[in-house]
Amino acid sequence: MRRWQGELMKIAYIGSRGFPGIFGGVEKSLQEMAPRLAARGHEVSVYASDKIATDQAVYEGVYLRRLPALSTKHFDTITRSVLSIFDCLFK
C-alpha cells in the first residue's frame, strides 16, 4: 500500500487567549497539537493575546504572533480575531 506524501502546510490558529496553555482546555490542547505539527515540518503560527506567558517569538517550533485587543469583557476576543485575520491575509 502506497502512503500519500502530502505537502507541508501553513497553519494559523486564531482566537487563542494564551499560549502556552494557561487558561483552559482549548489552549491546553493547542499546546499539545501545535508543536507536534511543527515537528512534522508544517509552519505553525499561533495568534494570541499580547499578555501571553512567554516573551519568545518561537516556542517549540511554533511562531507566536502577539496582537493587541480592546481590553473589555465583550470585545477582547473578537477584536483580536479580526486583527489576526487581517494579519494572516497580508503575510
The percentage of residues in the chain with a pLDDT greater than 90, rounded to a whole number, is: 11
- Dihedral angle, C-alpha 11, 12, 17, 23, nearest 10 °: 0
- In the prediction, which pLDDT does 44 show? 92
For residue 81, the model assigns a pLDDT of 85
Q: What is the pLDDT of residues 7-19, one digit of tens each?
A: 788 888 887 766 7
Q: Enter the DSSP assignment of 16.
A: -
| CA–CA separation, 86 and 20 (whole Å) | 23
Whole-angstrom distance between the N-terminal and C-terminal Cα of the chain? 38
Q: Would you list the domain boundaries of the chain?
A: 10-89
Q: Is 30 exposed, middle or buried (0-12, 13-18, 19+ CB in 10 A)?
A: buried
pTM for the complete prediction? 0.77
